[in-house]
Each structure stands twice: as C-alpha cells, then as structure tokens.
C-alpha cells in the first residue's frame, strides 16, 4: 500500500466514501455517474487534508467537498459508518460487482448478464442463460476463487519472476532490451501485474537473430520458452496481427514452485525507434499519462506509446479517430519528450497523482 495513504488522519472516512463510490460505479444511471465524480473529488480532497476532521463546518470548508458529502462525513465521524451503504447494496449491485471481479468483465457485460437472469458464477458457465464467454473470461472465472489474479503481489515477487524471464529472453536474442515497467518501475511496494517492455536495437552487432527478426518473431519464440520453464501458465490475449510492429501479450504466470500464486503479466514490444515513448507510456501511471497526452494536445501534438507526433488531423465527429499518421517529432528517449512538452523531468517514482 502507498505509505502516504496510511498516515492519512481521515482514512476511515475515505474508506466509507470509496465504498459508496464503488457501489455507484456499478450502477448505470446518469445520477450515479455524477455521484462517482463528486465522491472521487471529495476523496482526493480528504487525502491531502492534513488533520482529522471534527466538525461539520470544517468538512464544509474543504475545497471540493459539498454540503451533502459534509453531512455524510459527520455521520461517519459520529456513528463510524454510513447507513446509505446498506441501503444501496441491493442484489443487482452485489451481483454486478461480483461479475466485474472476473478478469476481462466490465460494467456493461456484468449488467447484461444480470439482466439475462444470471446471479452466480455457476449461472455464467451453465449454458442456460445464453452467455458467451471469451477465453479470457473463462480463465477469469476459473481463477476467481483463488483470489490470485485479482490481488496485488509484493514487489519482491514481481522482481523474482522478472529475473527468471529476462535471461530466457536474452538467450533467444542477446540484443534485446528487456525491462520491467508499470507500478514496479514507479517503485511501488506492490504490483497489480508485471509489465514487461521488449524492444531490440536492429544495429546491435551482438544479435544473432539478424536484422530481419521482428518483434513478433521474438515473442513467438519467447512465450513457448516461458511456458516450458513453467513460468507462463495461461494466455489471456495473444498478439493478433503478425504484421504489426507493436505487439501486446496478456497472460498469467507464477514462480515455478510449489504453492506459488497465479499472477497477471503483460508484455509490450515496440520498434527500437519508439523506445522512449514506450518507456514513458508503460511507466505510467495512467493519470500521469493522461496529463501528458493532454499537454501534448494543447500544444497541437499527439502522444502515444509510439511517439510524439505533429500535424495529426482528427475526425471532428469523434476526436479519438485520427485521419492521418502525422509527423514523428520525438520518440527515442523519455527526456526529449518531456523537453518538447515543456514538462520538467520527473523520475518514475514521481509520476503519479
Ligand atoms: N496505461 C495507460 N492507460 C491505461 C492502461 C495502462 O496509460 N488505460 C499505462 C500506464 C500504466 C502502464 O500502462 O502505468 C501499465 O498498466 P497497468 O494497468 O499494469 O498499471 P500499473 O502497472 O501502473 O499498476 P498496477 O500495479 O495496478 O499494475
Ligand atoms: Mg502493472
Ligand atoms: Mn499491466
């Protein structure tokens, strides 16, 4: 857990509001969406509030906390809980939240299953409700009770697994750059999964795979090797298009020893020229990335895991759709991307809310 959060003097209040937020998050209404926004704003404000709240006035006067939330805060302070939570925890909320706990299941799928009459995990696999599970969802259900792929692993376990993987990758191609990214690179004490970035310098003379070895071909050899070593146990999403330069793999892995837990693992491979942009993207966190992309957009650029581009034309009807590739401005190092965006350098551990 984040050490800063443990010291928060209003943690019990945050926990209760977070619970209420989670409940509204699993509901479909517009009202619920507003509540989610409002509670997350309040929680952010509470996290940075330096002292224990004691009075209604104190709660009201905190920037970001409205009247209704201030009343809830008082209820928590006086009674230790929120009656509203019991009241909101109806069957549909409980069931859709349970379904959303399955790897690969989002809100809309969970709600659809509930509407079709499903109430338990057994209902989903019974074939009685016309549910069509993806392969990833089937694995998610299989491992649901193990609580493995939904729980975070200690940093040391991520490190141990990575230290088994790296030499296997380098044996396939000594010219590879193989690094562990995500929350691990940001120095977190625990990790939700293991994120590994792979790229390869095509001009590296040490490589015996030859210049024509694409990222895709490397992975095609790597995954069977990792399975053979007993590290990778299940594929959740395999690379789909072999012609793509950028490849994503999602799977499950564990330490090849008795009693070890199944953990989530992601691989991303990018061309060497995208290394800096990929490091930046894959280190995160996601909120930091959103801020960087926004900064790029304000300056008329477009930023993604392949690089910083200029002159990208977007569809006015849907800004997410790009009508052209644009011109590559920077992608080889993280530093140059920070520099061009005018953002002071931040070490990985500083890149979070
Ligand atoms: N990422 C992003 N936007 C997303 C998903 C991911 O920018 N929607 C980037 C930032 C993340 C990185 O990819 O830091 C790795 O994604 P993870 O989902 O593995 O997130 P973290 O590693 O940061 O956290 P966790 O410990 O929960 O895995
Ligand atoms: Mg991660
Ligand atoms: Mn990941």
As a whole number of angstroms, the distance between CA 353 and CA 205 comes to 41
Q: Note the pLDDT of residue 3.
A: 44
Instruction: Please list the alpha-helical segments (H only) found in 1-154.
Output: 3-6, 11-25, 30-48, 56-60, 67-79, 83-88, 91-100, 107-115, 121-126, 135-142
237: exposed, middle or buried (C-beta count within 10 Å: 0-12, 13-18, 19+)?
A: middle
ipTM reported for the complex, 2 dp: 0.98
For ligand 1, say whether the CB of 191 is within 6 Å of any of its atoms: yes
For ligand 1, say whether the CB of 226 is within 6 Å of any of its atoms: no
As a whole number of angstroms, the distance between CA 2 and CA 189 comes to 7
Ligand 1 atom at minimal distance to the Cα of residue 266: 19
For ligand 1, say whether the CB of 183 is within 6 Å of any of its atoms: yes
Question: Residue written as tokens 């900064």?
Answer: 295
| Model confidence band, residue 205 (pLDDT cutoffs 50, 70, 90) | low
User: Are the C-beta atoms of residues 262 and 146 closer than 8 Å to each other?
Assistant: yes
Who contacts 320 (Cβ-Cβ below 8 Å, separation ≥6)?
Answer: 314
pLDDT tens profile 187-196: 999 999 999 9
As a whole number of angstroms, the distance between CA 185 and CA 277 comes to 15
For ligand 1, say whether the CB of 326 is within 6 Å of any of its atoms: no
Region 103-124 average pLDDT: 92
Smallest CA separation from ligand 1 atom 8, residue: 286
328: exposed, middle or buried (C-beta count within 10 Å: 0-12, 13-18, 19+)?
A: middle
pLDDT tens profile 47-59: 999 999 999 999 9
Q: Report how far ligand 3's centroid is from the alpha carbon of 164 (Å).
A: 18
Q: Note the pLDDT of residue 319.
A: 82
**Is residue 314 over pLDDT 60?**
yes
Who contacts 233 (Cβ-Cβ below 8 Å, separation ≥6)?
Answer: 227, 251, 252, 253, 254, 262
The pick from 286, 304, 346, 351 for probing ligand 1's pocket by mutation, whose C-beta has the most ligand atoms within 8 angstroms, reads 286
Smallest CA separation from ligand 1 atom 14, residue: 284
């Amino acid at each position: 857990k984040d050490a800063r959060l443990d010291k928060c003097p209003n943690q019990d209040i945050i926990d209760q509001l977070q619970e209420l937020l989670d409940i509204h998050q699993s509901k479909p209404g517009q009202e619920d969406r507003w509540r989610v926004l409002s509670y997350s704003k309040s929680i952010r404000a509470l996290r940075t509030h330096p002292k224990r709240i004691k009075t209604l006035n104190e709660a009201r006067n905190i920037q970001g906390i409205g009247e209704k939330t201030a009343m809830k805060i008082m209820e928590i302070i006086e009674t230790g809980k929120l009656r509203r939570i019991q009241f909101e925890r109806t069957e549909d909320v409980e069931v859709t939240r349970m379904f959303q706990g399955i790897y690969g299941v989002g809100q809309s799928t969970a709600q659809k299953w509930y509407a079709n009459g499903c109430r338990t995990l057994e209902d989903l696999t019974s074939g009685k409700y016309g549910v069509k599970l993806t392969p990833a969802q089937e694995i998610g259900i299989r491992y649901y009770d193990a609580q493995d792929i939904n729980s975070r692993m200690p940093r040391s376990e991520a490190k141990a697994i990575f230290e088994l993987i790296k030499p296997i990758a380098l044996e396939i191609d000594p010219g590879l750059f193989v690094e562990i990214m995500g929350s691990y690179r940001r120095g977190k004490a625990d990790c939700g999964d293991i994120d590994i970035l792979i790229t390869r310098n095509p001009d590296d003379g040490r490589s015996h795979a030859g210049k024509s070895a694409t990222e895709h071909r490397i992975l095609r050899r790597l995954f069977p090797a990792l399975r053979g070593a007993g590290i990778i146990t299940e594929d959740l999403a395999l690379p789909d298009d072999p012609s793509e330069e950028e490849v994503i793999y999602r799977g499950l892995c564990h330490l090849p020893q008795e009693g070890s837990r199944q953990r989530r693992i992601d691989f991303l491979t990018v061309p060497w020229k995208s290394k800096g942009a990929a490091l930046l993207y894959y280190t995160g966190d996601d909120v930091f990335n959103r801020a960087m992309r926004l900064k790029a957009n304000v300056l008329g650029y477009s930023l993604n895991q392949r690089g910083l581009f200029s002159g990208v034309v977007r569809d006015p009807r849907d800004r997410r759709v790009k009508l052209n590739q644009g011109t590559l401005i920077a992608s080889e190092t993280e530093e140059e991307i920070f520099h061009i965006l005018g953002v002071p350098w931040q070490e990985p551990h500083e890149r979070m809310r």
